[in-house]
Structure 1
Amino acid sequence: MHSISIIIPTLNESGNIRELIRFLMDHGGSYIKEIIVSDGGSTDNTVLLAKEAGAVVVISLVKGRAGQMNSGAAQASGDIFYFVHADTFPPVSFARDIQEAVDAGYAFGRYRTKFDSPKKILLFNAWFTRLDLFICYGGDQTLFIQKALFQKIDGFNSQMRIMEDYDIVVRAKEQKARYKIFKKAALVSARKYETNSWIQVQWANSTIIRMYKKGAGQDEMVNTYKSLLQYR
């Protein structure tokens, strides 16, 4: 049996973190080595709630999601790292799914997406996440990766403030590692769509992807994204 370290990057996630940790504990069972919350400087009760729920809390000295996930991974002792955003819930079978995927020779992978919203147009977005496309490499669907592969590619690029999830998948694929896309879906927050229209979000995402592929700097990309969307 492979041991799984779950790593959750957080920043002011008091509304979600306790429920998520309890969900992961309830359904992960003996497969779970530990749940690590890597916090980026929350000013709410995220850290307290995470500790009360039974997670190990790491205060990341490197700000930004990439640095937080690396900080969490540095403290992890499992054979497999499983990165979960604080507003995402994987299927209840996640631990067994990951075990079976690794046993079948997959080194990393993700779920498809199901949004927690009744908006029918989001079914269109979710459908595409079954495909192995660059535009679907975002971290909302969660990401499992074997520790050996994670270390081989030096983890996430901590200099990145945006697109870090896409980047790590690309680099892992360059190692010819097998990539698993589960047929099941993770339940992903649609909160971006609560304050922005569907068109606004698609335009912002496509703009940032184009900028990334053209080699734009991180500051330029972050500033552009913030200018296009109202989020957090």
Structure 2
Amino acid sequence: MIKLSVIIPSSDSPATVQKFLPGILAAIEDCDTTEVILVDAWDRESKRNYVESLGVKYVFAGKARRSFQSNFGAKAATGILLFFLHIDSKPPRGFDAIISASANDGFESGSFKLKFASSSRFLAAFAWFTKFKWSIARGGDQGLFVKRAVFDEVGGYKNAWQIMEDVDLARKLIKRKTFAILRPALVTSARKYERVGIIKLQFLFTVITILYWMGISNKTIYRFYLKYVEERKDVPPVQV
């Protein structure tokens, strides 16, 4: 099996890490060829001690920006393959073997089909579209694997981006014609949909995607996200 580095950028509370990390570790088939790296935005001793007690490498990035943390984690990784994963996304059992087999079949990169941890038919319908090899249907919650050499060649994530960095990278990788959609599905939390509202959040994500394809600045898109998704009151009106 090809050496794989699982990179998990995190700005989550210790309780959130304790809730989701064991499930990710339990899904690994070969621990000898798979390393897991948690890239923390803030150096918290309690989180560090817990993570290291599970045999996970703890890396302190010093910045709460997923693009920056992902690139930072890639530098600390030793694997030939990199797998970027959100803490609340649980890959299928044996995901490391699935990724390795895909790479052996000639695929340079790929992501898993998505399933939400929810009984909502609307979310099931949204997730259905992730079976297509479209960059518009890709997202960080599906996980993203890429050969290290290819990751370096395309420039990795855009460090300054605070949103849509995963879609932007997937877009570059899909253009190379060696992108795989992996199965079985990865299961991700629906907590943000439950908090904001399923229809409302999907509508807002659609607007964000349109703004991205229009070439609107990432800073403006992120302000839109903070104001309307996170409902931050301190964000001024967004003008496009």
TM-score by length of 1: 0.91
**Which runs of no fewer than 5 residues in structure 1 stay unpaired?**
none
Tell me how many residue pairs correspond in the alignment. 231
Shift in CA distance, 218/86, structure 1 to aligned 2, threshold 3 Å: same
Residues of 1 paired with 2:46 and 2:31: CA distance? Answer: 28
SS in 2 for 1:129: helix
1:207 aligns with 2:204: no
Residues of 1 paired with 2:91 and 2:200: CA distance? Answer: 26
1:48 aligns with 2:28: no
Deviations 1:98-149 (A, max 9, x none): 1110111001001111111122221111111111122211110111111110
Residues of 2 paired with 1:42 and 1:219: CA distance? Answer: 26
| Paired residues for 1:173-184 under 5 Å | 173-174=174-175, 176-184=176-184
Deviations 1:65-102 (A, max 9, x none): 00000000001011100111000000002011111101
| Paired residues for 1:85-164 under 5 Å | 85-164=86-165
Aligned partner of 2:237 in structure 1 is none
Which contiguous aligned blocks of 4+ residues in structure 1 show a shift greater than 6 angstroms? none
**Which runs of no fewer than 5 residues in structure 2 stay unpaired?**
233-240
Deviations 1:2-26 (A, max 9, x none): 1001100001242342354433433
Contact 1:13 1:86 in 2 (8 A): no
Shift in CA distance, 173/127, structure 1 to aligned 2, threshold 3 Å: closer
Contact 2:42 2:63 in 1 (8 A): no
TM-score by length of 2: 0.89
Identity of aligned residues (%): 28
Contact 1:25 1:32 in 2 (8 A): no
Shift of 1:231: 7.4
Over aligned residue pairs, what C-alpha RMSD do you find? 2.0
